[in-house]
Structure 1
């Protein structure tokens, strides 16, 4: 066995804690938010590059303000908007500026629809005149100010509208929108969930054209679930949800000319059964970029559409034996050349193409991944990005010339570094944290990376935690099935290597995911520390199929989800079980969503390795999950039935010997409770004894009120009683 240390717990941190009061964490403290970090909220860099705006709430009045601060000094420059000065507007929840910053869109009464979508009442505030007006008396979706600030487009009842501020005229661009049939301007459920996109329209730079998508989902099968509420009869929620192998919505692209009052469909080519995951206008007001992806998601065309002639032209094609990830890393420069990221050399890197799609150069290279693209500084011809060049469990901020020269690491501290740049890229705010340091926010010079000033830290949280028995993560790698897998471990206080401890494993394991990261604690981490305080060793291993170690490692599980990942977790449990200080007869595992799919498989397929498992909101049969996600990794059930059946927990219930807790929310629109109900039936028919819980009207996150506290109390008791 070979454990290679990547990062040791910081000596000063552990020494400081030796003088602490060693207070134990409680579930009530964790889930009532006692250890929440302070963060910067809704920051917008002003066009002048010298100031930034943030959303703040005054206490005790409760007024909402947009305050403008100086980057250099941190001093408040002015209050741009205050709800106290606006009649009939007590507060607002969010804001966005027009390109010239003369108008601000304010959101109120925001109501969540699904994971990323919402609707609300919106107001437009005119900065020069300090006037304000309501966009609509009804709740609208995805409003977007035009670049010139004189118009706004939005979706209402599945139709796309434009409101012209100068004339006061409302233009209805579509009239065929209908729930569960036709959607214009926003996406259907599966695009929202799996392509991370809700708004499906975009203004051109001249503010006279809008491109939008139309979804015809009449033939998509419906899914229904009861929402029980408190009324005498439950309410049935019915929505279109294409499960693997089933019919998707037919998607069409349109370009509307606002001045000509016309809307024309765009024929992209002889595509069949395809997706349009992104549309975006280029720097040319007449050229629209469109990404078209085949259903297998391994062939992507970047198309430029001439809005005058309605002619499409493929300027870039990407192919992959497995799949192509969709990102927002497409930036058009003034000459209409563009920045693009791709895994085509085996690692995610930045590329620069000319306006015709010819490669100018590969900007970044190496056996490491670019994890975020921040933008292009046209004045200094520099690109700013984030990567894992300094270990896959860390993140750093870099600058590089667009020709690929003069790369410079701007961040200095080891851990998770993220950045938010000023509009002119002269300075940036660095967000830093690691496993022993809560988030720190500092202002830096973009040329040198040097700190200009501190903005905010979480010293009060650090001081508070000195009272507690904080259990640090020990990062290492573990050699499993020919790979050095990233791992962390949390040990009990006064750990004795000659004593036997039960092991509780946590994982997610989904394609491209990462759970072993050198960053600050989540709520789960405090729970893991609490378990360690109760005498458990907690460990997490990122197996094959997880991300940020190259495309080959990430895509090793293609067409066979739940095979190699399960093998890795079983092998890791066995290998850890050989350690002198781990009781191999007391190993448990848990996970949520994909992690619940994994923990179920581990318990059912390796009953002599795992004593118990907890599965929260698990996929139990990939045939029940949606087209875009499932087919990306497994193709369709018709093409790859063994990929679906050989690793779905529902088919392996006869292997259950240990203790099993199964949990689901009844209103989970993502991983339907159908997964759990059919697994329950299979377990019952196999005469297997297990525990289960259904949380009424809770979605995939299973939260609200005391729900999380109840869930983690139940899981904690289950662990204590069975491990």
Structure 2
């Protein structure tokens, strides 16, 4: 990669500089082995499975390849089944090769799928082989003892011996639309539950989700560029419409099936399943309005359940990675919002206080828990955008921070070994360090490309609410050069924190700034990482709260930075696209141009779990949906003569925010006499992994914004 290569091309070719970076770490319980994924270079899309050996006597650590997709497929191109394409779309996975794997408890056997075929790797020996089973294979997972591998094919849950023999189906779909062992759309897209089966700790049985999507309304997504192709049928649970019916069954290896019972009428969402040696299977089930949820323990003999704990919140209850789980003595481990703080609870004890805002549980080491957290309301001198790793054991000293330097950190720990991945403002690439007994026996190299530019964000807070923000000025800008046209670049909604202390997060924003803008990234209310009240402030009011905070941040920052408030543009994707269109349509006095990518324009067309959590049931709250949508009278409330230039961009193959959102808004704008531009992307989904599409989107957006604001052309 040379300096002559443009940043947009490099940004697209490297998939936002994610290729070549190690990820998905698994540490063996004896601390002697670390498995992970990484491609061979910063432009190679194909991930390999690697192993780092850590000699017990303190010898030199050494990396080796455990599985190479090119060798296993004998050079043939990878072919993805429709189910695998959908799974990758839900996880926003744009790379290739081994993109996911699972191991047994000893991290000695790994299983993964390639081109719908099942492979197993002996991580100690460094050999990989295909297990000849019917396909296409999805989500293979070894049993904890490594003797078997479970997988899904054509909606049936199979088990095969680790040597490839004894393949059999434990559960077979009874009809169309039924699957065993797969997560339904709403779980994978909104609950962060990507799996649908769980092994018993002794490897003798599995819990499997049975999904029947027959009640879900069908949508059809056509490819207008290829009118000879049939539209794709999608079961999409839009707000206010039926969800898939999800049940749970306990499957013994002899095929015996025991249904798991709970009040599914009251708690239809199966949000989490946990099964470990520390206790019986543990479920977290939610009411549809997500204001009540119950933790249930499963009796594996009868399939009955007993209540362990019940939670209720008048606004909504969030879901978190790594919980629920068991501590010793069958004490429930959960993350909860109490007294204005987000805390880790073990049994009836809080393991963290108001100084931390807990984000996830990464794992456990006995009764000590590894977690990620931001500064809470009780923190002293919190730093904007930092996320740290802590070890919490409930001791009198409180949680101990394991990540020392300012930045964004995450970790995996087992067998006395911690794999700590850290990102900072000083370096564009994250670093991965291996820690053991207070020493650092190894580092895992990143092959990610070095960007052709350096991001220089100024992290700050803005306005009376201390809205986290980042401001980026053109490279080489000097005090006295005069005010700059402004480009707001938010996500601004649930689950999307953009103001983080990591340089890579701002690379595209720096390139935009280098086109002659002062770029502002602001995380207003509704975004994560601040406080429970901050996140829930948008209940019933996306439009007023999130847009108001962008305006407040802009005006507050203008007092400290060279912002020309007479030339303000805004761009965004997904919720950010909604926010960009909202800004131009409702506040033309502030925003003079906008680019809205894949915007949600009518919240009745978005999915149940996300939308109903924030806006309620559209059948009961029609006025709330009308007030927050863009295609209604409220959405077009500003006078037509104040219309500002607006570009709408949408992938026509998007099955998350379907293209109907942009088409309906375009029709409403046309009917209202409001000029706008529409850029349809044929064959593109909600993510844009295609290199040429991703590159040119940046160029087109800048060209449009410069034209709209009366500036020069993009460089």
The TM-score normalised by the length of structure 1 is 0.85
CA distance in 2, matches of 1:140, 1:457: 30
CA distance in 2, matches of 1:563, 1:611: 19
Structure 1 unmatched ranges of 5 or more: 1-20, 110-119, 354-358
Aligned counterpart in structure 2 of residue 241 of structure 1, from 236, 246, 267: 236
Post-superposition offset of 1:372? 3.0
The TM-score normalised by the length of structure 2 is 0.86
* Map of 2:488 onto structure 1: 505
Structure 1 residues 417 and 126: alpha-carbon distance in aligned structure 2, compared to 1, 3 A threshold: closer
* Equivalent residues, number: 668
Structure 1 residues 533 and 406: alpha-carbon distance in aligned structure 2, compared to 1, 3 A threshold: closer
* Map of 2:26 onto structure 1: 44
* Residues 445-483 of structure 1: per-residue CA shift (max 9 Å, x gap): 4665x655554368983xx75xx5x4511111111xx41
- Asked whether 1:476 is paired with 2:470, we answer no
CA distance in 1, matches of 2:326, 2:263: 24
3-state secondary structure, aligned to 2:553: helix
- Asked whether 1:713 is paired with 2:699, we answer yes
Contact 2:470 2:522 in 1 (8 A): yes
* Map of 1:254 onto structure 2: 249
* Residues 106-134 of structure 1: per-residue CA shift (max 9 Å, x gap): 4312xxxxxxxxxx211234679968442
Contact 2:423 2:431 in 1 (8 A): no
Post-superposition offset of 1:596? 0.9
* Map of 1:148 onto structure 2: 145
Contact 1:509 1:542 in 2 (8 A): yes
CA distance in 1, matches of 2:686, 2:15: 24
Post-superposition offset of 1:598? 0.9
Deviates more, 1:533-542 or 1:46-55: 46-55
* Map of 1:104 onto structure 2: 110
* Map of 2:370 onto structure 1: 384
Post-superposition offset of 1:515? 1.3
Structure 1 residues 377 and 158: alpha-carbon distance in aligned structure 2, compared to 1, 3 A threshold: same
* Map of 1:400 onto structure 2: 392
Contact 2:113 2:137 in 1 (8 A): no
CA distance in 2, matches of 1:81, 1:292: 38
3-state secondary structure, aligned to 1:340: strand
Structure 1 residues 614 and 382: alpha-carbon distance in aligned structure 2, compared to 1, 3 A threshold: same
Post-superposition offset of 1:297? 0.6
* Residues 591-622 of structure 1: per-residue CA shift (max 9 Å, x gap): 11111111111111111111101100000011
Structure 1 residues 553 and 438: alpha-carbon distance in aligned structure 2, compared to 1, 3 A threshold: same
CA distance in 1, matches of 2:368, 2:267: 39
* Residues 363-397 of structure 1: per-residue CA shift (max 9 Å, x gap): 1111431123222222xx53222221343510222
* Map of 2:565 onto structure 1: 584
CA distance in 2, matches of 1:315, 1:661: 51
* Map of 1:365 onto structure 2: 353
Aligned counterpart in structure 2 of residue 661 of structure 1, from 641, 647, 653: 647
CA distance in 1, matches of 2:47, 2:7: 34
Structure 1 residues 173 and 86: alpha-carbon distance in aligned structure 2, compared to 1, 3 A threshold: closer
Aligned counterpart in structure 1 of residue 419 of structure 2, from 426, 429, 443: 429
Post-superposition offset of 1:28? 2.9
3-state secondary structure, aligned to 2:286: strand
* Map of 1:212 onto structure 2: 208
CA distance in 2, matches of 1:443, 1:408: 18
* Map of 1:339 onto structure 2: 333
CA distance in 1, matches of 2:374, 2:584: 33
- Asked whether 1:456 is paired with 2:451, we answer no
Post-superposition offset of 1:23? 8.8
* Map of 1:203 onto structure 2: 199
Deviates more, 1:595-604 or 1:26-35: 26-35
Deviates more, 1:678-687 or 1:406-415: 406-415
CA distance in 2, matches of 1:572, 1:127: 51
Aligned counterpart in structure 1 of residue 54 of structure 2, from 70, 90, 98: 70
Contact 1:443 1:453 in 2 (8 A): yes
Structure 1 residues 702 and 438: alpha-carbon distance in aligned structure 2, compared to 1, 3 A threshold: closer
3-state secondary structure, aligned to 2:700: helix
CA RMSD of aligned residues (A): 3.2
Post-superposition offset of 1:553? 1.2
Post-superposition offset of 1:334? 5.0
CA distance in 2, matches of 1:593, 1:127: 40
Post-superposition offset of 1:24? 10
Post-superposition offset of 1:539? 0.8
* Map of 2:410 onto structure 1: 418
CA distance in 2, matches of 1:487, 1:67: 39
Structure 1 residues 400 and 612: alpha-carbon distance in aligned structure 2, compared to 1, 3 A threshold: same
CA distance in 2, matches of 1:168, 1:695: 46
Post-superposition offset of 1:667? 0.7
3-state secondary structure, aligned to 1:316: strand
* Map of 1:4 onto structure 2: none
- Asked whether 1:409 is paired with 2:391, we answer no
Q: Which has the larger radius of gyration?
A: 1
Deviates more, 1:405-414 or 1:138-147: 405-414
Structure 1 residues 73 and 443: alpha-carbon distance in aligned structure 2, compared to 1, 3 A threshold: farther
* Map of 1:53 onto structure 2: 35
